[in-house]
């Protein structure tokens, strides 16, 4: 067959000499072009991956083993982006998404994939990252099957929805279409819990009734930019935060009265001031409008008060499992001093404090640290203390001052561990070490360096974000 022999010629020309970086022979392709494609696997963002004349092609919404028709949306030197136009041969694991808006906004990348296969994907993504970075001994790592949810919907305890007013006066609240500022109204969102959505919809109604000015991005006018609701699984309490374009909040009194009357579950109403055009959702200043400063959540028998800015895991049911896995992996029997690094409101360290001599933790958000220290008191814990600052600056200081931990939990953001943090860990070498990761790429990369002193006993993935491509894992490490 002619095409296959010319294919082989290409291959020989490009790969006969050992330069893997040499670009694939220029593929003539343009934006808008359509062609059929067979999908080979899912990439780390949950998108289908196929090869168009050997050029890697990313197709959101396509599944492995499918034959699809795609339309090219972006041509780059080493890859193509394409949109899914038609599924000619569907995967047996393709399911009808629950959400009409799925695919339009972020957060539903895998809703068209059956849940057991979503769980497999999450383990596979970790495998792919290990293959890419090859930390020492990676071929022998144990990757346990992902721990999923019984009902993988309605789990998110927080909604952070942008608000806009359409030309006909309608107020909408939801999320942006990926990579744009086109807001998609989300009266329903299968991943949100009911409390967060009910309150947002009611607030939108109130804003309309009271004609509170809604932020207008184009003119920089108006007030209400974002509505944030967070609910407590244990107590049912809801906290509302209005993110506003100025300190002024017109019709504040009437708004608070309506909330009191119609939304008794709302126990805390806050305002965060974030003036002007900015890509950040939150501004620096948060003030209380009415009620409490916090809502209270319970995890593993401990109470946690949460202020608006403080991080809390978004899936309460899975958080319990995540922490149980972290505790199991830490296997504390003799540990004396634990560091709860990237602590948020101290959930991990405080849950473990009664098994330890002393707990120290740190986080960069001062409000989270205030919450953590207050939460220690709230739970009658007197051997835990939390500090504001970066893990990479505080841990070396503590060690320099003679305070050496023998147990360490790190739970960094997507960027993974800072270089100084890794160096400090390699220097201190705590006996017990658990790495909780929300990004397999940075995890695999960090494990390359950590491999000098630690081996990986196992990696346990836990599905914190069903229907999305996000992956969370607990890694048990042992000192070599
Ligand atoms: N362990 C907590 C929070 C994990 S999220 C929990 O399970 O709830 C990661 C946290 O790291 C966030 O609270 C963020 O504010 C914090 N953070 C980000 N960069 C940091 C750094 N360099 N040092 C310490 N904390 C950091």
Report pLDDT digits (tens) over 379-399.
999 999 999 999 999 999 999
**Distance (Å) from CA 410 to ligand 1 centroid:** 9
266-273 and 285-291 as β-strands: parallel, antiparallel, unpaired?
antiparallel
CB of residue 344 inside a 6 A radius of ligand 1:
yes
Tokens of 199: 């309150």
User: What pTM, to 2 d.p., does this model score?
Assistant: 0.90
The share of the chain scoring above pLDDT 70, in percent, equals 95
pLDDT at 27: 78
18 pLDDT more than 50: no
**Of the candidates 324, 283, 300, the residue with the CA atom closest to the CA atom of residue 233:** 300
pLDDT at 23: 55
Strand-pairing partners, residue 408, are 339, 433
Q: Which protein residue has the closest C-alpha to ligand 1 atom 11?
A: 342
CB of residue 304 inside a 6 A radius of ligand 1:
no
Q: What is the C-alpha radius of gyration for the chain, rounded to an integer number of angstroms?
A: 25
pLDDT band at 98 (very low <50, low <70, confident <90, very high): confident
For the packed helices 115-133 and 440-450, what is the interaxial angle rounded to 10 degrees?
40
Report pLDDT digits (tens) over 282-302.
999 999 999 999 999 999 999
* SS (HEC) of 258-273: HHHHHCCCEEEEEEEE
**Which domains does the chain carry?**
4-94 (2.40.50.140), 121-150+300-479 (3.40.50.150), 158-293 (2.40.50.1070)
pLDDT band at 107 (very low <50, low <70, confident <90, very high): confident
Report pLDDT digits (tens) over 22-55.
555 677 899 999 999 999 999 999 999 999 999 9
86 annotated as ligand-binding: no
pLDDT at 37: 98
pLDDT band at 220 (very low <50, low <70, confident <90, very high): very high
**Distance (Å) from CA 127 to ligand 1 centroid:** 25
Report pLDDT digits (tens) over 367-383.
999 999 999 999 999 99
**Ligand 1, residues 297, 305, 309, 363: which to mutate, most atoms within 8 A of Cβ?**
363
Report pLDDT digits (tens) over 323-362.
999 999 998 776 789 999 999 999 999 999 998 999 999 9
Higher per-residue confidence, 473 vs 336: 473
Is 438 tagged catalytic?
A: yes
Residue 421 and residue 395 in contact, taking contact as beta carbons nearer than 8 Å = yes
Starting from the edge strand earliest in sequence, which strands make up the sheet with 454-462, in order?
143-147, 454-462, 472-479, 432-437, 407-410, 337-341, 358-363, 384-388
67-75 and 79-89 as β-strands: parallel, antiparallel, unpaired?
antiparallel
411 annotated as ligand-binding: yes
**Set 438, 450, 471, 477: catalytic member:** 438
408 pLDDT more than 80: yes
Higher per-residue confidence, 102 vs 246: 246
CB of residue 352 inside a 6 A radius of ligand 1:
no
CB of residue 448 inside a 6 A radius of ligand 1:
no
Report how far residue 24's alpha carbon sits from residue 9's, in angstroms, rounded to the nearest whole number: 13
CB of residue 170 inside a 6 A radius of ligand 1:
no
**Distance (Å) from CA 272 to ligand 1 centroid:** 21
Interior/surface letters 112-135, b for 16+ CB within 10 angstroms, e for the rest: bbebebbbbbbbbbbebbbeebeb
The share of the chain scoring above pLDDT 90, in percent, equals 87
84 pLDDT more than 90: yes
1 pLDDT more than 70: no
In which element (H, E) is residue 48 found?
A: strand 48-52
**Of the candidates 432, 429, 425, 431, the residue with the CA atom closest to the CA atom of residue 446:** 425
pLDDT at 25: 61
> What does the mean pLDDT of the chain come to?
92
Report how far residue 134's alpha carbon sits from residue 82's, in angstroms, rounded to the nearest whole number: 30
What SS3 class is residue 342? Answer: coil
Tokens of 283: 């501004």
- Ligand 1 nearest atom to the CA of residue 322, by list position: 7
Q: In sequence order, which residues have a C-beta less than 8 Å from that of residue 193 and are 6 or more positions away?
A: 154, 155, 156, 157, 231
pLDDT at 310: 87
pLDDT at 104: 82
Tokens of 278: 């900015």
**Ligand 1, residues 233, 364, 442: which to mutate, most atoms within 8 A of Cβ?**
364
pLDDT band at 438 (very low <50, low <70, confident <90, very high): very high
- Ligand 1 nearest atom to the CA of residue 390, by list position: 23
Report how far residue 264's alpha carbon sits from residue 261's, in angstroms, rounded to the nearest whole number: 7
């Amino acid at each position: 067959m002619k095409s296959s022999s010319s294919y082989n010629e290409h291959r020989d020309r490009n790969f006969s000499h050992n330069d893997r970086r040499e670009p694939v022979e220029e593929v003539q392709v343009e934006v808008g072009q359509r062609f059929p494609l067979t999908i080979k696997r899912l990439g780390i963002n949950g998108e289908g991956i196929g090869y168009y004349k050997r050029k890697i092609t990313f197709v959101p919404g396509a599944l492995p083993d499918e034959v699809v028709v795609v339309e090219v949306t972006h041509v780059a030197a080493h890859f193509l982006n394409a949109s899914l136009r038609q599924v000619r041969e569907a995967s047996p694991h393709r399911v009808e998404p629950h959400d009409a808006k799925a695919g339009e906004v972020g957060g539903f990348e895998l809703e068209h994939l059956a849940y057991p296969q979503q769980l497999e994907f999450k383990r596979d993504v970790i495998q792919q990252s290990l293959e890419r970075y090859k930390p020492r001994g990676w071929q022998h790592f144990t990757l346990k099957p992902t721990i999923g949810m019984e009902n993988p919907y309605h789990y998110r305890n927080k909604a952070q929805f942008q608000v806009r007013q359409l030309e006909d006066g309608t107020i909408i609240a939801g999320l942006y279409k990926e990579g744009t500022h086109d807001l998609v109204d989300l009266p329903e969102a299968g991943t949100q819990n009911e409390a967060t959505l009910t309150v947002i919809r009611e607030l939108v109604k109130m804003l309309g009734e009271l004609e509170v000015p809604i932020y207008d991005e184009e003119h920089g006018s108006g007030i209400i930019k974002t509505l944030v609701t967070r609910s407590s699984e244990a107590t049912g309490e809801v906290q509302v935060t209005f993110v506003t374009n100025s300190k002024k909040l017109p019709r504040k009194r009437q708004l608070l009265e309506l909330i009191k009357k119609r939304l008794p579950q709302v126990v805390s109403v806050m305002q965060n001031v974030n003036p002007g055009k900015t890509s950040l959702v939150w501004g620096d200043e948060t003030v209380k409008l009415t009620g409490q400063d916090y809502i209270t959540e319970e995890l593993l028998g401990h109470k946690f008060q949460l202020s608006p800015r403080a991080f809390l895991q978004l899936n309460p049911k899975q958080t319990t499992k995540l922490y149980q896995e972290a505790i199991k992996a830490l296997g504390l029997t003799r540990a004396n001093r634990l560091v709860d690094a990237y602590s948020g409101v101290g959930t991990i360290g405080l849950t473990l404090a009664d098994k330890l001599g002393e707990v120290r933790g740190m986080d960069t958000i001062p409000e989270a640290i205030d919450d953590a220290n207050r939460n220690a008191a709230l739970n009658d814990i007197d051997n835990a203390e939390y500090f504001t600052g970066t893990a990479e600056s505080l841990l070396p200081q503590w060690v320099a001052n003679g305070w050496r931990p023998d147990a360490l939990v790190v739970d960094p953001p997507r960027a993974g561990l800072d270089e100084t943090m890794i160096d400090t860990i390699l220097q201190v070498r705590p006996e017990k070490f658990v790495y909780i990761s929300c990004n397999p790429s940075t995890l695999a990369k960090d494990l390359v360096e950590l491999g000098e002193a630690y081996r990986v006993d196992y990696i346990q993935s836990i599905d914190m974000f069903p229907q999305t491509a996000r992956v969370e894992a607990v890694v048990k490490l042992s000192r070599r």
